[in-house]
Amino acid sequence: MNQPRATKVLAIGYVWPEPRSSAAGGYVMQLLGTFLQQGWDVTFSSPAGAGEHQEDLTALGIREVPIELNNSSFDAFVSELAPDIVLFEQFMMEEQFGWRVEKHCPDALRVLGTQDLQSLRHARHQRLKDRLKASDDANDFSDLFAPALREEFELMADTDLAKREIAALYRSDLNLMISEVEIELLVEQFNVPRSLLHWCPLMVDVPDSPPAPFEDRGHFIHIGNFRHAPNWDAVLWLKTTIWPLIREQLPTAQLHIYGAYTPPKATALHNAAQGFHVMNWAEDALQVMSAARVCLAPLRFGAGIKGKLVDAMICGTPNVTTPIGAEAMHGQEQWPGAITRTAQDFADSAVQLYKDQSQWSSAQTVGLQLLAQRYQKQVHGPALIAKLEYYQQHLSQLRRDNFTGSMLRHHQHKSTQYMSQWIEAKNRFKEDT
């Protein structure tokens, strides 16, 4: 008897996955791992160049196929591959390749992995810039944290980025959302049908061995890819305001800052005399997180959920963060550390958590419980597979119901198609001449 053909998945990445450099890379690998565990046939493609810390996908049984922007070679590739599911990582990949997939593989389920709402992150960044221009108060940023959804909508609604991103959500058959807050924003303010959105947060295995105890740890840690603007802003707020407040209370305290792609402007902040150590890239983020006593994540803007804080919970490392850092991460559950709104409260909470073993141990336990309640791979992985299979089986009806998406594909993809073909023709002309 013939065995049924394995489901073919094509993932199109903005970059090649670097799970040791960013939470985004880790999330992509979690999705790919879920597909492999299901026995699916997985191919990963990207128009980006090789990354310094990219994962060896071929060692995992995933084909790596480089692709080009604005080049019809992709049409032949995708036609021959004939995927059943196409996953676009970030909306720009849907813009670039969505129309080609629709044209050559019309029956493929088109899925967009958002990781975070970029238009929300950018709007919040602009709000922070405006606030910094308007006031030199570096302590209290309460007005930036957790505004009403309507305020977020008004920040985003007139931006080109939001219009592009949300149009891509409509054009996709299903969108993987990492943040429940962003789901509510899209549904309640942008009127995106809830049926287009599937909550799929970071998916991890809950540790089965106890993490290192209080007495075996001895410094603070901050970790995050320096190419991600919220992380760089957090380092600046630490350096200029928060860390001096901590050192006033703990004169010998040490802070280790790790991040991939450390720029010269970051290494210039290193000051051993102040206990402010810029450590560059950590080959094993969990190892360095497990050695620290408290994780500091003073995020003044951002979106999605924070991989560094999930890593902290995995390692049993309590943290101090802001409402932006904790957004969509704990639901109605306790937070494994402290959520603060001012630099002074942040510093005081960090010092208290660092010194108080009882409070620290309680926060460690809360973090492990939170992992089990919200982030278990064995819960979210099967839920994702079930949703994808259901959408494959009911694809025609789901697309018919999503008339707005069909309309946007008709108009936007035509313009994208013609622009891409014009660029390709221009490039060919240059080569010929």
The reply to whether 82 falls in a domain is: yes
Range of the domain at 258: 214-375
Residues 29, 168, single domain; the answer is: yes
Residues 365, 388, single domain; the answer is: no
Per-residue HEC secondary structure of the chain comes to CCCCCCCEEEEECCCCCCCCCCHHHHHHHHHHHHHHHCCCEEEEEECCCCCCCCCCCHHHCCEEEECCCCCCHHHHHHHHHCCCEEEEECHHHHHHHHHHHHHHCCCCEEEEECCCCHHHHHHHHHHHHHHHHHCCCCCECHHHCCCCHHHHHHHHCCCHHHHHHHHHHHHCCEEEECCHHHHHHHHHCCCCCHHHEEECCCCECCCCCCCCCHHHCCCEEEECCCCCHHHHHHHHHHHHHHHHHHHHHCCCCCEEEECCCCCHHHHCCCEHHHCEEEEECCCCHHHHHHHCCEEEECCCCCCCCCHHHHHHHHCCCCEEECHHHHCCCCCCCCCCEEECCEHHHHHHHHHHHHHCHHHHHHHHHHHHHHHHHHCEHHHHHHHHHHHHHHHHHCHHHHHHHCHHHHHHHHHHHHHHHHHHHHHHHHHHHHHHC
56-77 pLDDT, tens digit each: 999 999 999 999 999 999 999 9
pLDDT over 90 for what percent of the chain? 89
Question: Domain containing 71 — which CATH number?
Answer: 3.40.50.2000
pLDDT over 70 for what percent of the chain? 96
The reply to whether 186 falls in a domain is: yes
Q: What is the pLDDT of residue 243?
A: 98
Confidence band of 413 (pLDDT split at 50, 70, 90): low
Residues 73, 189, single domain; the answer is: yes
- From 143-152, 185-194, 382-391, the region with the lowest mean pLDDT: 143-152
Final residue in a domain of this structure, among 357, 375, 393: 375
121-151 pLDDT, tens digit each: 999 999 999 999 999 999 999 989 978 999 9
Residues 228, 363, single domain; the answer is: yes
Residues 239, 362, single domain; the answer is: yes
Q: What is the pLDDT of residue 165?
A: 97
Residues 273, 383, single domain; the answer is: no
Final residue in a domain of this structure, among 339, 355, 375: 375
Final residue in a domain of this structure, among 336, 354, 375: 375
The reply to whether 1 falls in a domain is: no
The reply to whether 83 falls in a domain is: yes
The reply to whether 208 falls in a domain is: no
Residues 191, 311, single domain; the answer is: no
Residues 412, 343, single domain; the answer is: no
Q: Is the pTM of this model over 0.85?
A: yes
Residues 16, 43, single domain; the answer is: yes
The reply to whether 416 falls in a domain is: yes
Q: What is the pLDDT of residue 429?
A: 67
The reply to whether 136 falls in a domain is: no
Confidence band of 423 (pLDDT split at 50, 70, 90): confident
Confidence band of 415 (pLDDT split at 50, 70, 90): low
Residues 228, 300, single domain; the answer is: yes
Residues 191, 221, single domain; the answer is: no
How many domains does the chain divide into?
2
Residues 190, 247, single domain; the answer is: no
